[in-house]
């Protein structure tokens, strides 16, 4: 490639050339005077048209020749439809940019001139992905393979061999054939192929393609990352019946996916919503979930002799802050069947362990071990030989004084497969949270991590003189009880007495504390001020920067530990808001919900669904269960056209929007009484109102509505609330020991769930911040110290917590 001459490699079809011309025109605009040519070639996939792709090698056949031209220097760029790209790409030929996405939908095309779809003829389609999903919509259709470019397929359609074709809207639109589209299939009807509608520009590693920066569309790049991660995790190819489609909605990334289990013919669809920056992780998580669902459905009982060895993951949990737990670690943990965990794994991370996993506490902290290391090794082997997915969850990193190597020795001897998931080590994270950079070019250029642990009665096998000569930062882990010996050893080895030093207690948690001194004075200062384990010792010039660079302790809620109770099925936004302000959050499920299965009253309401004037939701769960039951009872959603919708607050409103419905009414104050009075004012009399909600619900809403003349109210229980408790966290002890500053409650039901989980607790010890008056009333009845947020929103609750902390509660 030269500054004035660029060659674009392209497949020879008319569509491929048009797509390459789009990139060519962009480059010409950005690089005036540059000669941009298109080199067309026929790929193996274009030549073999009498067999389906899976029989001739998959999507790689569409890029093989283009890749060779790039490597040989015959071309400088290749332009591809991203959906045709294999999941495994050569590092030598990276994808450089992604186009703005064209219409990603699949469409139905009829013969030219036809006004009606003749379903007695087969549908031309070679994609199992499309076939599976079209069968859901039209069980009576049959299929006949069709290959070739779009024009070739349209010619075959016109010959009368097919009643219709399924094609991609993007290709038809780029060819100017949009008028041939008879029917669009929305992504919730037929999930598109990963990357459908996106063009990918490929080049050679190490060359300057800065001129393509403006061509790249960030939304398309994010979407393809999620979609391709989903397919890659499932080892899907172009002809594999796997689909993925991601789109931005209200600032969140929504990913839909389909997974097909070829051995059984079972397939599952699902979706996940999250932050765009987590696109790849979302793809993997959704893939795992759907694969697990298919596996669970297809599993049959096996004889004990048939059970194959499972697998062990050594997972580093980091220093306690859940934000420092790696994405891979979290993903592996959430799939575990057995978890063998240390005391040094933070409470927030222990709360992530699946409810149905077997949990084995091996305790290891300082000199207090519940179980010797040899016994831990045997447990890992035993559980793996039972065919289980075993996670060995270790504080910090598995290989940094974590004896992970010893555990692997026995696994290797028994030929048990394993993986290691590194963790963020406290040796770096804890100093960082205290404003101490472990290296700084003005002070030192090396870091040395040393175990401060030694057996009772033994002397240190540490070359203190060598450590002093490095002039680097020294971090001693597990050395609190031997602090005096460590400082003495450094001084005797020639370290100057005024060398800055610090001991850092319980870093990244609410118990974080720093004692700064010098090597000669640190033991004395610790004696005066006291220290708790776990703690690390840092020695070096960089310790002098702590006061200047400290940041975590400046956060509004630093040093505060707050309990957040939540619905088991939901990830708590409240917890995340508190963590951003510096709090350590203990997030525990207090309740879970389950739909009422045999529900005659709901069935009757579904049968008469079109007769309701208002449908009222008092919780996001109520919305979710209602629409699940609507589908279960095969009630056509169009029957809701005459109804208006009322919601109690923003959460229910947001959940309703997911179904394409905007609320007609939401009270200014989010509680049952104000919802009822607002709705009563909107009624004129004689209305029929459906309220699908929890089995046990507040009656204030009903009392207000009964003031409307001749109103007919169907108060239908659709789900029940069950109380939860944690096997791993003793909530009662946390409050009795004064470790919790505040408990945050976002519903009355979570207050009751907490009370069930902490039976025997003197509730006057609980300082409760409540989201509304019903929640506060439930906490008051238990004798808690209570405060209520100004508004029934999470941000208002956060403001109240910060206000109370400023008052030094």
- CA-to-CA distance for 391 and 328, rounded, in angstroms? 12
Task: Please list, in sequence order, all residues whose beta carbon lies within 8 angstroms of the beta carbon of residue 542, skipping any fewer than 6 positions away.
Answer: 431, 436, 437, 438, 439, 440, 443, 444, 473, 500
| Strand, coil or helix: 428 | helix
Structure tokens at 657: 């929007």
Query: What burial class does residue 794 get, using C-beta atoms within 10 Å of its C-beta: 0-12 exposed, 13-18 middle, 19+ buried?
Result: buried
CA atoms 567, 569, 574, 580: torsion sign: positive
Largest CA distance in the chain: 96
DSSP labels, 128-166: HHHHHHHHHH-TT--EE---S-HHHHHHHHHTTS-SEEE
Q: How many CB atoms lie within 10 A of CB 305?
A: 5
Helix H or strand E encompassing 53: helix 53-56
Q: Would you say 390 and 384 are in contact if contact means Cβ atoms under 8 Å apart?
A: yes
Q: ∠ at Cα 71 (69, 74), nearest 5°?
A: 40
Measured in degrees and rounded to the nearest 5, phi and psi for residue 181 equal -75, 125
Q: Quote the crossing angle between the two packed helices 373-385 and 404-413, to the nearest 10°.
A: 40
Q: Would you say 391 and 342 are in contact if contact means Cβ atoms under 8 Å apart?
A: no
Q: Measuring CA to CA, which residue among 445, 417, 450 is closest to residue 312? A: 417
Q: Would you say 612 and 689 are in contact if contact means Cβ atoms under 8 Å apart?
A: yes
Helix H or strand E encompassing 46: helix 44-47
- Assess whether 342 carries a catalytic annotation: yes
DSSP state letter for 36: E
Task: Please list, in sequence order, all residues whose beta carbon lies within 8 angstroms of the beta carbon of residue 590, skipping any fewer than 6 positions away.
Answer: 565, 566, 567, 723, 724, 749, 750, 751, 752, 753, 754, 757
- CA-to-CA distance for 44 and 775, rounded, in angstroms? 66
- Active-site position among 364, 388, 513, 561: 364
Q: Would you say 28 and 37 are in contact if contact means Cβ atoms under 8 Å apart?
A: no
Estimate the share of the chain in helix, then strand, then coil, as percent rounded to the nearest 5. Answer: 40, 25, 40
Q: Which residues pair with 6 in a beta bridge?
A: 36
Radius of gyration of the CA atoms of the chain, in A: 32
Q: How many CB atoms lie within 10 A of CB 681?
A: 12
Provide the pairing of β-strand 644-647 with 614-617. parallel
Q: Measuring CA to CA, which residue among 597, 716, 697, 615 is closest to residue 656? A: 615
- CA-to-CA distance for 518 and 538, rounded, in angstroms? 10
Structure tokens at 692: 């699908």
Provide the pairing of β-strand 338-341 with 358-361. parallel
| Strand, coil or helix: 193 | coil
DSSP state letter for 306: G
Q: Would you say 59 and 75 are in contact if contact means Cβ atoms under 8 Å apart?
A: no
With tokens 């993903």, the residue in question is 331
With tokens 């075993």, the residue in question is 390
- CA end-to-end distance (rounded Å), the chain: 67
Q: Where are the beta strands (DSSP E) in 67-224?
A: 77-81, 95-98, 106-109, 123-124, 143-144, 164-168, 181-185, 199-202
Query: What burial class does residue 547 get, using C-beta atoms within 10 Å of its C-beta: 0-12 exposed, 13-18 middle, 19+ buried?
Result: exposed
- Active-site position among 67, 342, 397, 741: 342
Residues assigned a catalytic role: 342, 364
């Amino acid at each position: 490639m030269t500054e004035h001459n660029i060659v674009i490699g392209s497949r020879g079809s008319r569509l491929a050339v048009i797509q390459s011309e789009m990139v060519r025109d962009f480059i010409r605009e950005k690089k005036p005077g540059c000669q941009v040519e298109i080199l067309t070639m026929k790929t193996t996939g274009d030549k073999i048209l009498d067999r389906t792709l899976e029989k001739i090698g998959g999507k790689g056949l569409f890029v093989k020749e283009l890749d060779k031209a790039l490597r040989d220097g015959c071309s400088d760029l290749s332009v591809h439809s991203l959906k045709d790209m294999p999941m495994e790409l050569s590092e030598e030929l990276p994808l450089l940019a992604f186009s703005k996405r064209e219409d990603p939908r699949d469409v139905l095309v009829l013969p030219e001139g036809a006004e009606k779809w003749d379903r007695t003829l087969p549908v031309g389609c070679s994609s199992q992905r499309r076939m599976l999903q079209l069968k859901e919509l039209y069980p009576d259709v049959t299929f006949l393979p069709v290959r070739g470019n779009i024009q070739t397929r349209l010619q075959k359609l016109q010959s009368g061999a097919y009643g219709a074709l399924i094609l991609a809207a993007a290709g038809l639109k780029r060819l100017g054939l949009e008028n041939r589209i008879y029917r669009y299939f929305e992504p919730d009807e037929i999930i598109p192929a990963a990357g459908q509608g996106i063009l990918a520009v490929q080049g050679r590693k190490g060359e300057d393609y800065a001129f393509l920066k403006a061509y790249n569309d960030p939304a398309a790049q994010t979407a393809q990352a999620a979609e391709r991660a989903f397919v890659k995790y499932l080892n899907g190819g172009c002809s594999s019946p796997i689909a993925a489609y991601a789109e931005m909605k209200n600032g969140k990334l929504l990913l839909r996916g389909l997974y097909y289990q070829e051995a059984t013919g079972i397939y599952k669809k699902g979706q996940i919503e999250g932050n765009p920056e987590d696109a790849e992780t979302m793809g993997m998580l959704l893939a795992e979930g759907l694969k697990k669902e298919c596996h669970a459905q297809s599993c049959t009982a096996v004889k004990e002799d048939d059970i194959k060895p499972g697998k062990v993951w050594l997972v580093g949990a980091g220093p306690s802050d859940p934000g420092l737990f790696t994405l891979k670690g979290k993903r592996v943990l959430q799939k575990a069947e057995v978890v063998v965990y240390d005391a040094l794994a933070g409470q927030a991370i222990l709360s992530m362990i699946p409810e149905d996993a077997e949990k084995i506490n091996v305790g290891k902290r300082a000199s207090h071990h519940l179980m010797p290391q040899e016994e831990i090794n045997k447990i890992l082997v035993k559980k793996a030989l039972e065919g289980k997915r075993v996670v060995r969850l270790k504080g910090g990193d598995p290989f940094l004084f974590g004896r992970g190597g010893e555990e692997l020795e026995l696994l290797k001897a028994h030929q048990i497969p394993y993986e290691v998931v590194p963790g963020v080590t406290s040796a770096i994270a804890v100093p960082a949270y205290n404003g101490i950079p472990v290296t700084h070019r003005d002070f030192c250029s090396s870091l040395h991590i040393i175990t401060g642990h030694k057996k009772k009665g033994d002397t240190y096998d540490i070359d203190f003189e060598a450590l002093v000569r490095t002039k680097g930062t020294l971090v001693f882990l597990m050395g609190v009880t031997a602090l005096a010996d460590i400082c003495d050893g450094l001084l005797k080895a020639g370290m100057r007495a005024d060398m800055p030093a610090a001991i850092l207690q319980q870093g990244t948690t609410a118990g974080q504390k720093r004692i700064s001194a010098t090597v000669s004075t640190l033991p004395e200062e610790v004696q005066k001020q006291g220290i708790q384990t776990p703690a690390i010792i840092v020695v070096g010039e960089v310790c002098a920067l702590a006061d200047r660079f400290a940041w975590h302790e400046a956060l509004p809620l630093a040093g505060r530990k707050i309990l957040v109770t939540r619905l088991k099925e939901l990830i708590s936004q409240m917890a995340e808001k508190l963590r951003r302000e510096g709090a350590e959050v203990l997030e525990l499920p207090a309740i879970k919900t389950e739909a009422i299965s045999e529900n005659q009253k709901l069935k009757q309401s579904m049968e008469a669904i079109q007769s309701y004037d208002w449908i009222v939701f008092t919780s996001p769960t109520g919305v979710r269960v209602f629409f699940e039951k609507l589908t279960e009872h095969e009630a056509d959603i169009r029957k809701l056209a005459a109804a208006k919708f009322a919601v109690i607050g923003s959460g229910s409103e947001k959940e309703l929007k997911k179904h394409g419905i905007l609320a007609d009414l939401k009270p200014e104050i989010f509680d049952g009484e104000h919802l009822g009075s607002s709705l009563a004012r909107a009624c004129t009399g004689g209305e029929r109102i459906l309220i699908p909600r929890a089995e046990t619900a507040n009656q204030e809403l009903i009392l207000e509505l009964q003031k409307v003349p001749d109103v007919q109210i169907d108060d239908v229980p659709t789900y029940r609330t069950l109380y939860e408790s944690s096997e791993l966290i003793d909530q009662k002890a946390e409050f009795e020991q004064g470790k919790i500053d505040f408990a945050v409650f976002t519903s009355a039901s979570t207050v009751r769930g907490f009370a069930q989980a902490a039976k025997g607790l003197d509730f006057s010890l609980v300082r409760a911040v409540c989201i509304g008056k019903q929640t506060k009333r439930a906490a008051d009845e238990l004798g808690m110290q209570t405060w209520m947020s100004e508004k029934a929103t999470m941000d208002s609750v956060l403001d109240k917590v910060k206000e109370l902390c400023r008052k030094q509660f």
